[in-house]
């Protein structure tokens, strides 16, 4: 791999991390985090807003005290040319806004068209142009009337703004558990360090894919491909050792929610030798069965600690942080109209993904 190609890939990872930082700055109403996603002379185009500082302060004012939001960049496409780069990313945002009356939850779809520059060794955003594509409004969520008491088996951390966010404390706690640095006497030249960063980042991102596939397909073996054997999972549905979670979560979902899909993106990963911490955004769909079936959408984040052992990255600790959830009457549309003849996702090895994966064995 040519050194220039490797440097470009490393640059793309830095830019993706900066995009994740920007989304986190909005969702946590963290003005400083949002401002530092841009260079000091950066600009924005959100219609009436053109100054990142005004944008950051305005976001903090708008979000503080309001229901939580979740901005999910995906389809990130980056082009690098030396110390300049451009990117397009699709974004789907869950926000509560007073568009045509009282504040109501919305899903807003759009794109970020960004310019990035490398200055003093750091990639930051130089200009952001937001392009709006679509908006879907949801009924206002009802406040819970019966909040269960805290318990160790089923509690789940709650999202918040600024220092109130449970994810902040979790990230700090996991980052403080540093156990090791690079093993052996590897000569970490600039090229070697860049290559290690690229390979480690990709391996860590793929752990999230394995986890989601394992949960959605009800396959304990695939879940455990993402975890070390002594890993821990805090999910709310089950809190405890990862090997037990991998089995019990399947039993739980088979009983109450046989059709689920976890979509994960916005990876913010900090690698330090053989240890890393990370945050990724997830939106989960669940069809909850019962006398009155419900279609449930849940948004939140995974806060993770990763460790590389014997050269293999896996999750040693994962916590789910809940940011929002909505549900309405379930509609069985999978066998109607254009959807009738399409293959449907399955729990277990009958799902077509396993045959596809095994075809390269």
> Is pLDDT at 2 greater than 90 in this prediction?
no
- pLDDT for 301-314, tens place per residue? 999 999 999 999 99
Question: DSSP strand E in 146-293: where?
Answer: 227-234, 239-241, 259-272, 275-288
Give the start-to-end residue ranges of the domains of the chain. 3-137, 162-358
- pLDDT for 153-200, tens place per residue? 788 899 999 888 999 999 899 988 866 555 544 455 677 888 899 999
CA distance 228 to 286: 27
Question: Is 200 in contact with 193 (CB distance < 8 Å)?
Answer: no
- pLDDT for 244-286, tens place per residue? 999 999 999 999 888 899 999 999 999 999 999 999 999 999 9
Reported CATH class of domain 162-358: alpha beta
Q: Do domains 3-137 and 162-358 have the same CATH topology?
A: yes
Of residues 288 and 154, the one with the higher pLDDT is 288
**Amino acid 302: pLDDT:** 97
Topology of 3-137 in CATH?
Answer: Nuclear Transport Factor 2; Chain: A, (3.10.450)
**Amino acid 151: pLDDT:** 79
pLDDT band at 289; cut points 50, 70, 90: confident
Helices and strands: H and E segment counts in the chain: 8, 11
Give the mean pLDDT of the chain. Answer: 89
**pTM of the prediction?**
0.86
In 3-state terms, the chain is what percent helix, strand and coil (to 5)?
30, 40, 30
**Average pLDDT estimate for 62-72:** 87
Of residues 129 and 147, the one with the higher pLDDT is 129
> In the beta sheet, which residues pair with residue 321?
301
Of residues 360 and 333, the one with the higher pLDDT is 360
- pLDDT for 203-237, tens place per residue? 999 999 999 999 999 999 999 999 999 999 999 99
Query: Which range among 16-25, 56-65, 285-294 shows the weakest confidence by mean pLDDT?
Result: 56-65
**Average pLDDT estimate for 311-331:** 92
């Amino acid at each position: 791999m040519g050194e220039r190609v490797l440097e470009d890939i490393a640059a793309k990872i830095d830019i993706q991390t900066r995009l994740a930082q920007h989304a986190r700055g909005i969702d946590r109403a963290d003005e400083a985090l949002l401002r530092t996603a841009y260079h000091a002379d950066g600009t924005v185009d959100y219609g009436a807003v053109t100054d990142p500082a005004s944008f950051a302060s305005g976001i903090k004012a708008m979000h503080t005290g309001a229901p939580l939001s979740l901005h999910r960049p995906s389809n990130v496409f980056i082009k690098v040319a030396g110390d300049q780069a451009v990117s397009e990313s699709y974004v789907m945002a869950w926000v509560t806004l007073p568009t045509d009356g009282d504040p109501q939850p919305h899903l807003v779809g759009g794109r970020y068209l960004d310019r990035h520059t490398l200055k003093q060794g750091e990639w930051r955003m130089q200009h952001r142009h937001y392009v709006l594509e679509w908006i879907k409004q949801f009924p206002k969520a009802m406040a819970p009337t019966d909040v269960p008491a805290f318990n160790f088996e089923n509690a789940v951390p709650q999202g918040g703004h600024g220092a109130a966010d449970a994810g902040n404390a979790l990230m700090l706690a996991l980052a403080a558990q540093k156990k090791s640095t690079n093993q052996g006497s590897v000569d970490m030249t600039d090229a070697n360090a860049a290559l290690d960063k690229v390979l480690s980042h990709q391996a860590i991102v793929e752990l999230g894919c394995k986890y989601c596939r394992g949960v959605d397909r009800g396959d304990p073996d695939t879940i455990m491909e993402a975890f070390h054997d002594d890993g821990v999972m805090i999910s709310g549905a089950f809190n405890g050792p990862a090997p037990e979670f991998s089995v019990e979560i399947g039993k739980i979902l088979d009983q109450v929610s046989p059709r689920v899909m976890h979509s994960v993106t916005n990876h913010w990963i900090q690698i330090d030798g053989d240890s890393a911490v990370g945050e990724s955004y997830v939106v989960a769909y669940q069809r909850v069965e019962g006398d009155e079936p419900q279609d449930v959408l849940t948004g939140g984040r995974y806060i993770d600690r990763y460790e590389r052992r014997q050269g293999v990255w896996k999750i040693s600790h994962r916590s789910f942080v809940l940011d929002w959830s909505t549900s309405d009457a379930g509609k069985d549309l999978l066998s109607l109209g254009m959807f009738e003849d399409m293959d449907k996702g399955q729990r277990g090895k009958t799902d077509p993904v396993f045959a596809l994966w095994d075809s390269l064995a």
